[in-house]
Amino acid sequence: MNLKFASTTLLCISALTACSTTPTNPNAPVVLEQHKNISAEPSTKHNLARLIKQKDNCVIEFTGNFETGKATEHWIFKGDQLISAFSNIDAEVENKQTVFDPNDAEKVKNFELLKNNFKTTNLEKCL
């Protein structure tokens, strides 16, 4: 009985060690922070904003749900510089993608408002 218990224990320990030493992909995107139901325009029923760290930049992914579908925006940036942004609408009445001008003052203002939902310490990881 003790031999069976000891061998089972050793098997479990070796399995746990193998899992904890498995290498991870350092280039894989990482969600740094996320928030539900933030105040945003246009107003949505339910929304989710996520700050995602990628290899060379960060992305704010904002998904808002409407009665007829959903819209997902991606705001790609590094530091304080907005690199690109686009929106995908998946709704009963239309499915389309809109690319935003990263130099448009209104779009930059929306980007800054979205960034204000995330902690400074996490945004600093996007430099």
Tell me the whole-structure pTM to 2 decimals. 0.77
Percent of the chain with pLDDT over 70: 81
The pLDDT value recorded for residue 22 is 57
Kindly state the average pLDDT of the residues 110-126.
96
Q: What is the pLDDT of residue 92?
A: 84
Percent of the chain with pLDDT over 90: 64
Amino acid at 77: F
Rounded to whole angstroms, the Cα distance separating 14 from 65 reads: 46
Structure tokens at 86: 């686009």
Structure-block tokens of residue 119: 């902690």
d(CA 125, CA 80): 12
What's the pLDDT tens digit per position in 47-106?
A: 999 999 999 999 999 999 888 889 999 999 999 999 999 999 998 888 899 999 999 999
Rounded Cα gap, residues 57 and 78, in angstroms: 5
What phi, psi does 37 have (nearest 5°)?
Answer: 55, 50
Taking the CA atoms of the chain, what radius of gyration do you get in angstroms? 21
Which residue has better confidence, 10 or 126? 126
